[in-house]
């Protein structure tokens, strides 16, 4: 019997796997799909998640491909209204975020997981049962059913989580459902160290380094809008940049590397586990990409859960730590979700008076040192339970 079976091998599952394996536990991860599509949704790793990434052993590999984000720029109809500097943060050793493709992040985490002794296999979980001492899981791979047993199971298998369904846990919407279009593109004229949020009455646009060469462009597709009907080609993204992007930069789209349209929602599971089985990442909570909060929240879940499992194994206790994990992460997700929902609402304003009020509010926050720091800390998820000050 192994210590931990992880279902899912995305950033959340692999983060948990690295932390557990590096602590000396025997860990196996099962993934339903072959790894690494050429396109990914997540692209920003905030300072709190960077602290965790450092503990996985994967930080150097991700940093080698990622671009540093040192500021958050906000624009209203192309005009700057606020700029928030990450190097003002005082309770973390990371005064920056990393713009890195999920492909590269997963590749680095997988390498670190294997190097720490973690086992990775392809397969699909089709059933599970548990008693007081273990979880038994049936995995289907290449037409055969395999049996696994583990002391604990982590369900990190995404929005359509099989583990969540098998545990009978439901997920309820707590915000709007939205459709987004994203592209990874080579763009001239954009600042390489800034995550930009460009808002206009006609819609918003998020811009940020996707790695050291490309930018991630993301905008909402309103039902029936011209954007929804337009092709995802360089001309369409150039038009969006011209209409919504920073005017002083005059960015030019040179090449579209990859595009995707997808539906997303704000939703939270009613509980983050049952017995010896736990949920983490998108299997436990979902949020729209506004502010880049989702993947980072999953990595924080992984750290919070791994810490408890390691303590239980090293202390030789069988204490039920699910209530503690559930309470901490539910509270944290509420805070993170509030930031994401607020960000989405601010970017979706259309009335002139509301826009003017928002612009004044952001300008005031940007010019007040304490409010400036608090805003950056919220975006970087440093305000949530579980954050530990930088080690020296």
Span 151-184, pLDDT tens digits: 999 999 999 999 999 999 999 998 888 899 999 9
* Per-residue pLDDT at 34: 58
106: Cβ contacts below 8 Å, ≥ 6 apart: 9, 10, 11, 14, 35, 36
For each of the domains in the chain, give its residue range(s) and CATH number, in order of start. 2-68+96-173+266-348 (3.50.50.60)
Residue 36 has pLDDT above 70, yes or no: no
The arithmetic mean of pLDDT across residues 312-316, rounded, is 87
* 154 and 305 Cβ atoms separated by less than 8 Å: yes
By CB atoms closer than 10 A (0-12, 13-18, 19+), residue 165 is middle
pLDDT of residue 213: 87
Percent of the chain at pLDDT exceeding 70: 95
Q: Is the pLDDT of residue 389 over 50?
A: no
The residue whose two tokens read 């090293």 is 314
* Span 137-153, average pLDDT: 95
In this structure, the number of other CB atoms found within 10 A of the CB of residue 329 comes to 28
The pLDDT assigned to 391 comes to 44
Tens-digit pLDDT profile for residues 224-264: 888 888 888 999 999 999 999 999 999 999 999 999 998 88
Q: Give the mean pLDDT of 47-54.
A: 96
The residue that leads in pLDDT, 240 or 392, is 240
Eight-class DSSP state of 85: E
Q: What is the mean pLDDT of the chain?
A: 92
Instruction: Identify any residues that bridge with 4 across adjacent strands, giving them in sequence order.
Output: 27, 152
Res 112 pLDDT > 70: yes
């Amino acid at each position: 019997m192994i210590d931990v079976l992880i279902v899912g091998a995305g950033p959340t599952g692999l983060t948990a796997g690295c932390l557990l394996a590096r602590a000396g536990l025997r860990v196996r991860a099962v993934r339903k799909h072959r790894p690494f599509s050429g396109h990914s949704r997540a692209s920003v790793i905030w300072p709190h998640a960077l602290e965790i990434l450092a503990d996985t052993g994967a930080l150097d590999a991700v940093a080698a491909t990622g671009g540093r984000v040192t500021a958050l720029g906000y624009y209203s109809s192309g005009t700057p209204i606020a700029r928030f500097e990450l190097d003002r943060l005082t309770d973390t050793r990371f005064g920056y975020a990393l713009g890195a493709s999920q492909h590269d992040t997963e590749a680095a985490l997988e390498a670190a997981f294997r190097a720490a002794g973690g086992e990775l296999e392809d397969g699909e979980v089709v059933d599970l049962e548990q008693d007081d001492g273990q979880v038994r899981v049936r995995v289907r791979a290449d037409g055969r059913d395999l049996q696994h047993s583990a002391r604990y199971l982590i369900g990190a298998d995404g929005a359509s989580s099989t583990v969540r369904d098998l545990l009978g846990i439901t997920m309820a919407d707590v915000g709007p459902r939205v459709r987004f279009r994203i592209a990874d593109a080579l763009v001239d004229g954009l600042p390489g160290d800034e995550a930009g949020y460009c808002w206009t009455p006609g819609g918003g646009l998020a811009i940020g380094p996707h790695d050291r060469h490309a930018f991630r462009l993301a905008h909402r597709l309103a039902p029936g809008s011209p954007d929804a009907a337009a092709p995802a080609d360089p001309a369409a993204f150039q038009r969006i940049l011209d209409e919504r992007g920073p005017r002083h930069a005059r960015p030019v789209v040179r090449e579209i590397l990859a595009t995707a349209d997808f539906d997303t929602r704000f939703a939270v599971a009613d509980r983050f586990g049952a017995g010896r089985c736990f949920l983490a990442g998108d299997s436990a909570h979902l949020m729209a990409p506004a502010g880049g909060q989702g993947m980072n929240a999953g990595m924080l879940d992984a750290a919070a859960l791994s810490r408890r499992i390691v303590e239980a194994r090293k202390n030789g206790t069988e204490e039920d730590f699910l209530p503690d994990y559930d309470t901490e992460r539910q509270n944290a997700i509420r805070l993170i979700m509030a930031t994401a929902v607020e960000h989405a609402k601010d970017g979706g304003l259309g009335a002139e008076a509301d826009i003017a009020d928002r612009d004044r509010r952001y300008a005031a926050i940007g010019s007040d040192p304490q409010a400036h720091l608090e805003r950056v800390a919220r975006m970087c998820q440093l305000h949530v339970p579980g954050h530990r000050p930088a080690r020296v």
